[in-house]
Structure 1
Amino acid sequence: MSEEKMMKTIDPTTGKTLKEYKTMTNDEMNSAVKACHEAFLEWKNKSAEERGKVIANIGKKLDEHKDELVKLMTSEMGKLLKQGEQEVELCSGICDYTAKNGPESLKDEERELPEGGKGYISYSPIGVIYGIQPWNFPAYQVVRYSIANLMAGNGVLLKHAENVTGSALLLEKIYIEAGLPENLFKVLLISHDQSDSVIENKLVRGVTLTGSPDAGKIIGKKAGENLKKTVLELGSNDAYIVLEDADIDLAVKTCVEGRLYNNGETCVAAKRFIVVDKVYDKFKEAFVEQMSQIKAGDPTKEDSDIGPMARKDLRDELHEQVEESVKKGAKILCGGKKPDGDGFFYPATILDELKPGMPAYDDELFGPVASLIKAKDAKDAMDIANSSRFGLGGGIFSKDEEKARELAKYHFDTGMVFINSFGLAKPNMPFGGVKDSGYGREHGGFGLHEFVNVKAIMLA
């Protein structure tokens, strides 16, 4: 007999194993795909209003299971309990928004034909959508793509990151408890090699990934070879620009939050802080003071400002990026030392005197490390911001909101821009990026139209 393959979850606060799970066999995986497709064949015939009622109920059930889900996410990937609560509340908000607005977004559009007659545009579900999701927001990453696709009438498969397997299975349970038909949302406990065969499966009609640019290239190529559409939300190196007329106190406070939220492990996080020369020293002094006071500790304790990083290998990789940047001339203003003891903790860190060619300048640092960069003026700051190969989010601090909005609209080469604020996702606003940060949009109704057949029906 062949040995069973197992996957396991590890508590990043202690480094100890939480639970082990048996990986699916190929037969079990293929059966799950087929069962999802068969559930879809019935679900697609439900009206958008009927589907919306189930989606709204998923939001309610998420609220009911909030404490259980929050504690599980914290134990599996180390986020602060209060930020886990915010995550589940966002998920419930997405369900509410989708249930309320989905039927209107999906209803047929009528158009007069040029030569007479009527045309109708329908947004028809296409089938099973396969999602490959990361660990940093164990509930939100799943809700973001699954709720839109279930509302659109599709079936949904999930391959979640191994270290948040428990969270994935709890979400599946919550969805079913809310009245979603069995097998319509299915968690696949599979390997990367098995995942490739899911993409190739003829019953799978679309693929969505949140992950690194390298993963995006692999998944995009594999899906493209099988003529399947993808939505890719990849890495980023978001620039937060502090202009001469910025409220410095607000900018510093917001930038600390923006860098450290979710232990610094967020795609759309503030990562590069590009400050114009005239206010650079003032910003730096206050930024270092506040970051130096950040306490890394047990994420279940109220006096912890940040928890551990999610995995040991991720902490090691981050520290290597810091050390490589220092070797090339970067200066550590605070933090930068890997602590001893249990757990995968890393201190809030600021690197200064950065130049192109350093990891802290060019690459995504997925943890509590801030890259501080001096710019000559507003134009130079924007040029530095846009020189990145990434383009997910960004921020501008200026008391002249009209000027900031103009810079955001005409000059910032990203999918999202926050002015005098830091934010994550909003249910009613599009989420996604450009360049190496991927393509496609989620939220705001846009995600409802990513994996549908925009069908033209013409009557003479």
Structure 2
Amino acid sequence: MTATVSTQPRYQVVNPATGEPGESFDFATDAEVEAILASSDEAYRSWRDLPITERAKIVKRVGELFKEHSSRLGAIATEEMGKPLPEAVDEADFCGDIFDYFATEGPGLAADQEIKTFSPGKAFVQKLPIGPLLGIMPWNYPFYQIARFAAPNLVLGNTIVLKHAESVPKSALAVQELMDEAGVPRGVYQNLFASYEQIEGIIGDRRIVGVSLTGSERAGSVVASIAGRNLKKCVLELGGSDAYVVLDSDDVKASADLAWDTRIGNTGQACNSNKRMIVSSDIFDGFVERLVERAKNLKAGDPAEAAEGTFAPLSSRRAAETLHEQVQDAVSKGATLHAGGELVDGPAAYYSPAVLTGVTPEMRAYREELFGPVAVVYSVGSDDEALTLANDSDYGLGGAVFSTDTQRAEKIARRLESGMSNVNTPANEGQEVPFGGVKRSGFGRELGPLGMDEFVNKRLYYVAD
């Protein structure tokens, strides 16, 4: 590899609740990158040959360690990206469930499948590992994003080079420590503090056979372009602007509470958050009134304490400023800001949870993803209008439809242009159900049975009579 000089900041911890910098870490040198790639390639030869049941035992131990260290891991995430501490601990605990699922179910999911053949003999589809993979992970779920990529691929027999977001280096190192403690062999899972400039060379390196990225639409297009030029398989989980359709309700207050609690989870920084609430005109006023009440009753608080009635900061000052710009653009063009939408002075990243109505297509908020605690609410007069608005998005990650008449909700939910569609629940999330989208939300799936199907050689194995 040729020498590179990075123009981006180093890996740096900045507490978003205060704006104060913490520990920083240097980028890997090109020599260190080469050593990690060589180690990943070498380790693959022995890791793939280890029986899948033995790999699964090690992966299961990783999951146990996530649960054992969930409090410590949660505190790290809270410091680095401002996640409320209880949510951060739950995230780490959930990672334990993901690793356990693939350790338990993975050997069966990867087993040979006999298929019907008209030739004299037996035909099977095998699911075999393909080699070292590069994972490029985001900051919003610093442990969960790793788990859903790493767990199935480690069970399959692939090896992993993990490039995490520059703002969560301590989270990245903590995961490496768990892998080492669990007995993951040297070279099988490796954290790498790579620069942007180094990533292109890593994807193009002959030893890396695939790349998985969770991040922005812009980052996805860049990574997909590089992977395409080098004929590498990629999985992309990108942005989302999920429709959350409420056709009717026998308890408007409860419906609005569920929508609000869903929207402000992780301070609104979730790809599949309900960023577009589409509500029947019959209940729209009451629905918005309740959202406004909830928003106005919140005040900025320390995410490490996560006291009731408080909201946490966004991940960074820049993230808060970007969200503020999007909201102000909508207001300047005629949208109504009912509550919140205030950016705190100083270096901290607090942005008060907001309720926005009257958003129209010429506003940024109509097309762009609002990655933060802003409830955008639309009024519709019919089910057909709700469906048209729901599908009028460049994104297609998830969506949900609510009605007291399940069949009525299903009629709309089945026609959502999304990778995930839910009826009478914000989302059915779990280690056993696939996650992923369509359109500009990316392609490929993680979690569940489909999580074992991306980075595999689905080889035909035929034995003649």
- Specify the TM-score bucket, using the shorter chain as the normaliser: over 0.9
Residue in 2 that maps onto 1:337: 342
Cα offset for 1:47?
1.6
After TM superposition, list the pairs within 5 Å mapping 1:55-66 onto structure 2. 55-66=59-70
Answer whether contact 1:268 1:424 (CA < 8 A) is retained.
no
What's 1:163 paired with?
167
Aligned mate of 2:443, from 428, 439, 442: 439
Q: In structure 2, what is the equivalent of residue 302 of structure 1? A: 306
Partner of 2:118: 114
Which whole-Å CA distance do the structure 1 matches of 2:324 and 2:399 have between them?
24
Query: C-alpha separation between the residues in 2 aligned to 1:321 and 1:4?
Result: 25
Structure 2 distance, partners of 1:194, 1:63, is: 33
The SS at the match of 1:235 is coil
Structure 1 counterpart of 2:65, one-letter code: K
SS at match of 1:166: helix
Post-superposition Cα deviations, 1:219-269, rounded to whole Å, max 9, x if no partner, equal 111101100111100001111111134542332111111110001111010
The answer for the alignment partner of 1:355 in structure 2 is 360
Give yes or no for contact 1:209–1:232 (8 Å, CA) kept in 2. Answer: yes
Task: Please name the residue that 1:255 is paired with.
Answer: 259
Greater Cα offset, 234-243 or 333-342: 333-342
Aligned ranges 1:106-145 → 2 under 5 Å:
106-145=110-149
1:368-394 residue CA offsets vs partner (Å, 9 max, x unmatched) = 111111111111011101001101111
Aligned residue in 1 for 2:391: 386
Inter-CA distance 136–429: structure 2 relative to 1 (3 Å threshold):
same
Q: Hey, what's the Cα distance between the residues in 2 that align with 1:388 and 1:2? A: 35
1:417-456 Cα shifts (integer Å, max 9, x gaps) = 2333224731111100010101101111211110000001
Would the aligned equivalents of 1:44 and 1:154 in 2 still touch at CA under 8 Å?
yes
- Which residue matches 1:34? 38
Shift in CA distance, 246/361, structure 1 to aligned 2, threshold 3 Å:
farther
Structure 2: distance between partners of 1:60 and 1:52: 12
Count residues with an aligned counterpart.
Answer: 459
- Alpha-carbon distance between aligned partners in 2 of 1:247 and 1:210, rounded to the nearest angstrom: 37
* Equivalent in the alignment of 1:453: 457
Match of 2:326 among 306, 310, 321: 321
Distance 1:247 1:319, change over 3 A: same
Choose the corresponding residue for 2:28, options 21, 24, 30: 24
Secondary structure of 1:162's partner? coil
Residue in 1 aligned with 2:177?
Answer: 173
Distance 1:454 1:326, change over 3 A: same
Pick the aligned partner of 1:46 from 46, 50, 64: 50
Contact kept in structure 2, 1:251 and 1:420, CA below 8 Å: no
Verify the 8 A CA contact 1:36 1:156 in the aligned structure 2: yes
Note if contact 1:246-1:399 (Cα within 8 Å) is conserved in structure 2: yes
Corresponding residue of 1:207: 211
The CA deviation string for residues 68-101 of structure 1, in whole angstroms up to 9 with x for no partner, is: 1110000000000100111012101101111111
**Rounded Cα–Cα distance in structure 2 between residues aligned with 1:33 and 1:119:** 35
Code of the residue aligned with 2:399 in structure 1: it is: G
Mapped to 2, the partners of 1:74 and 1:64 lie a distance apart of 18
Tell me the distance in 2 between the aligned counterparts of 1:235 and 1:5.
24
Check if 1:187 corresponds to 2:191. yes
Distance 1:280 1:330, change over 3 A: same
Q: Specify the alignment match of 1:369 in structure 2.
A: 374
Deviation at 1:121, TM superposition (A): 1.4
Residue of structure 1 in register with 2:151 after alignment: 147
Deviation of 1:2 after TM superposition, in Å, equals 12
For 2:422 and 2:34, locate their aligned partners in 1 and report how far apart those are by CA, in whole Å.
43
Gaps of 5+ in 1: none
**Structure 2 SS opposite 1:374:** strand
Q: Residue 340 of structure 1 aligns to a residue in which SS?
A: coil
How far apart, CA to CA, are the structure 1 residues paired with 2:261 and 2:166? 28
1:412 alignment partner AA: L
Name which of 289, 292, 296 aligns with 1:288. Answer: 292
Alpha carbons 2:357, 2:376 under 8 Å: kept: yes
Structure 2 CA distance, aligned partners of 1:188 and 1:331? 45
Q: Distance in 2 between matches of 1:412 and 1:250?
A: 24
Secondary structure of the residue that 2:279 maps to in structure 1? strand
Q: Which residue does the alignment assign to 1:266? A: 270
| CA shift in 2, pair 1:434/1:5, >3 Å | closer
Letter matched to residue 164 of structure 2: H
Structure 2 residue matching 1:428: 3-state secondary structure = coil
Which is worse superposed, 177-186 or 302-311? 302-311
Q: Would the aligned equivalents of 2:8 and 2:195 in 1 still touch at CA under 8 Å?
A: no
Letter in 1 for 2:392: S
Cα offset, 1:406, TM superposition: 3.3
Cα distance in 1 for residues equivalent to 2:8 and 2:356: 45
What amino acid does structure 1 have at the position aligned with 2:219?
A
Alpha-carbon spacing, 1:121–1:3, altered in 2? closer, same or farther (3 Å): closer
The verdict on how the C-alpha distance between 1:181 and 1:448 changes in structure 2, with shifts beyond 3 A counting, is: same
Match runs of 1:232-251 below 5 Å? 232-245=236-249, 247-251=251-255
Shift of 1:196: 0.7
Name the amino acid aligned to 1:353. G
Relative distance call for 1:5 and 1:161 in structure 2 (3 A) is: closer
Per the normalisation by structure 1, the TM-score is 0.97
3-state SS of the aligned residue for 2:282? Answer: helix
Distance of 2:8 and 2:249 partners within structure 1: 62
CA distance, structure 1, for counterparts of residue 381 and residue 298 of structure 2: 30
Q: CA separation in 2, counterparts of 1:87 and 1:295?
A: 24
1:289 counterpart letter in structure 2:
E
Displaced runs of 4+ in structure 1, greater than 2 A?
Answer: 1-7, 244-247, 417-425
What letter matches 1:456 in structure 2? L
Check if 1:67 corresponds to 2:71: yes
Between the aligned partners of 1:418 and 1:296, the Cα distance in structure 2 is 32
| Structure 2: distance between partners of 1:195 and 1:425 | 31
Deviation, 1:402, is 2.9
- TM-score (normalizing by structure 2): 0.96
* 2:433–2:447 contact (8 Å) kept in structure 1: yes
Among all aligned residue pairs of Structure 1 and Structure 2, give the percentage whose two residues are the same amino acid. 37
SS in 1 for 2:440: helix
* Aligned amino acid, residue 109 of structure 2: S
Question: Secondary structure of the residue that 1:396 maps to in structure 2?
Answer: strand
Distance 2:427 2:312 in 1: 20
